[in-house]
Amino acid sequence: SIMHLVFDHIRSRCIITTIRNKDGSIRITTPTHTPLTYYQQVLSPIFSAHIFNTHKSKFVQFLLFYVCSLPTLASASLPPKSLAEPNKLVLDDGAIYREFCTNFLSTILDQFQPPIARQCSACYLSSFISRAKYVNTATAAEVVSALLQYAELYIHAHANVGANGTQTNLLCELDKADMLTQHGVYYAVTQGAFYIMCFRGIEIHHWYQSHKAEYPQFNFHPQRWVDIGWNASKLNLHPFRYCFGPVKREFLHLMEDLYGLNEEEFVPPGHTCYMQPPMDEKIKKELIKKELVKKEGVDATTTKSA
Residue 202's pLDDT band (cuts 50, 70, 90)? very high
Q: Over the stretch 138-193, which tens digit does the pLDDT of each residue have?
A: 999 999 999 999 999 999 888 754 334 444 444 444 455 577 778 999 999 999 99
Q: Which residue has the higher pLDDT, 65 or 79?
A: 65
In a domain, 214, yes or no: yes
In a domain, 101, yes or no: yes
In a domain, 40, yes or no: no
Helix (H, G, I), strand (E, B) or coil at 27: strand
- Domains of the chain: total: 1
In a domain, 297, yes or no: no
Tell me the β-bridge partners of 28: 18
In a domain, 120, yes or no: yes
Rg (CA), the chain: 26
Residue 144: per-residue pLDDT? 95
CA distance readout (Å), 290 to 100, 286, 287: 59, 6, 5
pLDDT, mean of residues 31-52: 83
* Distance between CA atoms of residues 242 and 244, nearest Å: 6
Buried b (16+ CB within 10 A) or exposed e, 88-115: ebbebeebbbbbbbebbbebbbeeebee
Averaged confidence pLDDT in the chain: 77
Q: Over the stretch 70-80, which tens digit does the pLDDT of each residue have?
A: 876 434 333 33
Least confident residue range of 44-53, 116-125, 147-156, 206-215: 44-53
Task: Please determine, for residue 83, whether its predicted confidence score (pLDDT) is greater than 70.
Answer: no
Chain centre distance of CA 93: 21
What torsion do the CA atoms of 241, 245, 248, 251 make, to the nearest 10 degrees? -170
Residue 303's pLDDT band (cuts 50, 70, 90)? very low
In a domain, 108, yes or no: yes
The domain of 94 spans 89-281
* Distance between CA atoms of residues 48 and 123, nearest Å: 15
pTM: 0.74
Q: Over the stretch 227-281, which tens digit does the pLDDT of each residue have?
A: 999 888 888 888 888 888 899 999 999 999 999 998 888 888 776 666 444 445 5
* Distance between CA atoms of residues 241 and 51, nearest Å: 30
In a domain, 49, yes or no: no
Residue 7's pLDDT band (cuts 50, 70, 90)? confident
pLDDT, mean of residues 112-125: 93
In a domain, 41, yes or no: no
Chain centre distance of CA 229: 16
